[in-house]
């Protein structure tokens, strides 16, 4: 019986840890984004998200993008290829990125992001997206975070937060018996919203995760923060009657975007 159980577990392990075939990275000058939308996936790796907390959401994100004809870019560092856990193995581009940085220009006005690490590599990615946008003509821009496909270590949760105790209980439960260190204590961003569980506090937390738009884009941009279909919160009013608008849109899952039609 023990032998049989070990055999079954080995099969399950093999399925879970199956990785995409070896591939070449695309040269930065060959990454050409001509449409209105793109999905950028940062470091979808068990080296950082050992719980696979973001895997299902990330796979839903890539399925959504494929179905809608939205190009996908995977950012991959020099950790082993076997650690990368996405099911979709034919993105538009594979781009090398050691810390989440972008080596190419982001021309689409709507960028979806998944992967992580929310507080580290993904933060670098979204800052670089804004840097790229800042060099282009002013227009309406949307950065959509697919929350169940983004992993986090919860470092932005502070002891003064009313939900801190619940967060600590959750993290102790999901890391119980795991080795210490940075690999295991991860949860996805949607799980964090579940721990917070109050919209007012969710907005406060999400605002802490945003890139420094005030340092990057001109002050005449209107900046909004929206959670799913809630009323958008204005973070910066912008200038004039119809200022260009940057929207940070946090969505539970790509599964909620089934009726979306990108404007190309």
39: confidence class by pLDDT, cuts 50, 70, 90: very high
User: In terms of residues, how long is the chain?
Assistant: 264
Q: What is the pLDDT of residue 259?
A: 52
Whether the predicted pLDDT of 14 surpasses 60: no
DSSP at 217? S
CA gyration radius for the chain?
19
Helix 199-209, helix 189-196: angle, nearest 10 = 140
H or E element that contains 179: none
| Whole-structure pTM value | 0.89
Residues 15-25 have pLDDT tens digits of 345 678 888 99
Whether the predicted pLDDT of 7 surpasses 70: no
Residues 67-116 have pLDDT tens digits of 999 999 999 999 888 999 999 999 999 999 999 999 999 999 999 999 98
Strand partners, 72: 39
């Amino acid at each position: 019986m023990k032998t049989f159980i070990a055999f079954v577990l080995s099969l399950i392990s093999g399925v879970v840890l199956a990785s995409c075939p070896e591939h070449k990275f695309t040269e930065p000058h060959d990454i050409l984004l001509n449409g209105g939308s793109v999905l950028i996936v940062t470091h979808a790796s068990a080296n950082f998200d050992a719980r696979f907390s973001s895997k299902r959401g990330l796979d839903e994100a890539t399925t959504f993008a494929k179905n809608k004809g939205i190009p996908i870019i995977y950012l991959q560092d020099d950790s082993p290829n076997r650690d990368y856990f996405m099911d979709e193995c034919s993105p538009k581009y594979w781009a090398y990125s050691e810390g989440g940085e972008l080596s190419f220009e982001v021309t689409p006005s709507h960028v979806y992001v998944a992967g992580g690490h929310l507080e580290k590599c993904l933060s670098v990615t979204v800052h670089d997206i804004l840097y790229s946008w800042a060099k282009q003509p002013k227009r309406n821009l949307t950065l959509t975070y697919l929350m169940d496909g983004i992993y986090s270590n919860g470092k932005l949760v502070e002891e003064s937060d009313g939900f801190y105790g619940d967060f600590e209980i959750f993290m102790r439960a999901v890391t119980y018996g795991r080795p210490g260190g940075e690999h295991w204590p991860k949860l996805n961003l949607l799980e964090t919203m579940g721990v917070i569980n109050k919209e007012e506090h969710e907005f406060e937390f999400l605002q802490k995760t945003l890139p420094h738009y005030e340092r990057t884009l001109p002050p005449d941009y209107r900046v909004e923060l929206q959670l799913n279909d809630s009323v958008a919160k204005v973070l910066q009013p912008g200038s004039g009657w119809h200022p260009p608008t940057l929207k940070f849109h946090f969505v539970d899952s790509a599964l909620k975007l089934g009726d979306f039609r990108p404007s190309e």
